[in-house]
Structure 1
Amino acid sequence: MRIGIVVTYHNFVNKFILPCLDSLNRNIDCPKFVCVFDNESEHKDNYKVVDFCHANKDFFYIRINDQSENGGLTATWNIGIDLCIQHDCEMIFIINDDILINDTWCFFVQAIADDNVIYGPITNNPGSAWTNRHECWTLKHFLGRNKKKQYCSNSKSRDEDPVNVGFVNGFCFGCTTKTFINNRYNEKLYFNPDFPFEGNETEFQLRLFNLQPTADNTRNKKLLRALDAHSRAIIIPRCYVYHYKNHAWKITGGGRFFKDQFG
């Protein structure tokens, strides 16, 4: 079995993408094909990513010289999925460059079984993946004992069974290859190109859930947040990934690590 991984970066060579790639290289034992998209990075150490990919045969470096013309993040996902399919990958993972994995990744791979289902790991930044969104207004939430918290805990006391959730966050998720093929946006694309930097995974999940997505990502997120537990979105508590939650794609707005992007 071969797995495919698609990861895209823009600057932050030393802070994010190199540690990310190193964690993939060290912690994935099964055959893999990793598409590394350099989305117009201007970092002085960009050569290190090129050298890393050349030194590790499972990593494939692709330079995007004009991300606006190419279609941004969504285009790299669409192209990456096609490349993974061409390399006979049976399941495909989409991850951000600010993700670190560890040896629990094997449980993530083992858990992906059903087609037309989207899977995610637990993480230190779980987003809004509530099994019951109404619990956010309960006393348990304010005391820190809500169900959402179990997704961000990597303690031994957490529930190890897969959990149905309303949706899976887009910074790290996986599906069978058939899931992407069965749920194309159109004949050529898997993700809607109208969402080049955000909202692409949200729109995809709405289609996956047989719901009607809109052209407004804010509205799409509200549709997903209105769901209770959904059988087609599953969190795998046995897999833990660390997410730095960098927002520097919105360059004009700053971002938590904006000042470090060329460091």
Structure 2
Amino acid sequence: MKIGIVVAYHNFVNKFILPCLSSMRENIKYEKFVCVFDNESSHKDNDKVTDFCSMNNEFSYIRIDDQIKNGGLTGVWNKGVDLCIENKCDVIFIINDDILINETWEHFVSSVTDDNVIYGPITNEPGHAWINKKGIKIQYAYTRDGRDENPQKVGFVNGFCFGCTSKTFANNRWNETFYFNPYFPFGGNETEFQVRLFNLTPATTTPKNKKILDSLDAHNQAIIVPRCYVHHSKNNAWRINGGKYSNDQFT
């Protein structure tokens, strides 16, 4: 099996993207093709990323000089999925740069079997669920007996780390050109990716999108793989504007 991975970053070279890429190199034993999108990074150590990709032939560096014109995350997701399919990947994962994986990734890969189903891992920082339906477990829920070691259907999968078969992307294209809706709000939270993937029309406000997801049948097509754990640092670089993270983005 060959897997494809799409990851984008914007600054935070030493803090996020380099550890993320290193964790992939060290813990993924499958044949892989990794698209590393530089979304307009101006980091002083950006050459470390290009050097990493040059020294590891399964990693492909792609520079985006104008991320807004390119469509932000949606833009790189669309380009990345195309590249993964062109490189004959059987399964495609989309992750953020603030993810660290470990040896349990093997369980994630082996669980992605059904078409038209979205898979996700257990994580330490999953973000906020947009639904609150009785009887639906979310990925950070534990019981007194620990967590269930079998894949389970849940209410949602976080958009910062999810995987599908390549056929899933082909079956659920937004149109003949794109997999995800390129007009989706630029600053949309990653949990909105189900709206993008399942060809629904996004609203212009977060409350309206929450209502869309609350009634979304696609939640029945989301499966968490509890045997896979990823560490998520919740990078907020996309909304930095001279705030508390402004100095960190160049560390």
> Under a length normalisation based on structure 1, what TM-score does the superposition of the two structures give?
0.85
Q: Which amino acid is the alignment partner of residue 202 of structure 1?
A: E
Equivalent residue for 1:86? 86
1:198 counterpart residue number: 188
Q: Which residue does the alignment assign to 1:124?
A: 124
How far the C-alpha of 1:170 sits from its partner, in A, is 0.5
Alignment of 1:55-74 (within 5 A): 55-74=55-74
Residue matched to 1:260: 248
Q: 2:171 aligns with which of 176, 182, 189?
A: 182
**Stretch of structure 1 that moved more, 235-244 or 159-168:** 159-168
Q: Distance in 2 between matches of 1:65 and 1:24?
A: 25
- CA RMSD after TM alignment: 2.6
1:190 is matched by which residue type in structure 2?
Answer: Y
Query: Is the contact between residue 133 and residue 228 of structure 1 (CA under 8 Å) also seen in structure 2?
Result: no
Kindly provide the amino acid, as one letter, of the partner of residue 241 in structure 1: V
Displacement after TM superposition at 1:194 (Å): 1.5
Q: Distance in 1 between matches of 2:182 and 2:101?
A: 28
Once the two structures are superposed, the pairs formed by residues 150-189 of structure 1 within 5 Å of their partners are: 151=140, 157-189=146-178
After TM superposition, list the pairs within 5 Å mapping 1:33-112 onto structure 2.
Answer: 33-112=33-112
Pair 12,203 (structure 1): closer, same or farther in 2 beyond 3 Å? closer
- Alpha-carbon distance in structure 2 between the residues aligned to 1:123 and 1:258: 26
1:224 aligned residue (169, 190, 213) = 213
Residue segments in structure 2 that go unaligned for 5+ positions in a row: none
Equivalenced residue count is: 248
Shift of 1:224: 1.9
Report deviation, 1:214: 2.9
Contact 1:131 1:229 in 2 (8 A): no
In structure 1, runs of 5+ residues without a counterpart are 136-145
Deviation at 1:127, TM superposition (A): 2.7
Q: Where has structure 1 moved over 6 Å in runs of 4 or more?
A: none
Cα distance in 2 for partners of 1:227, 1:70 equals: 28
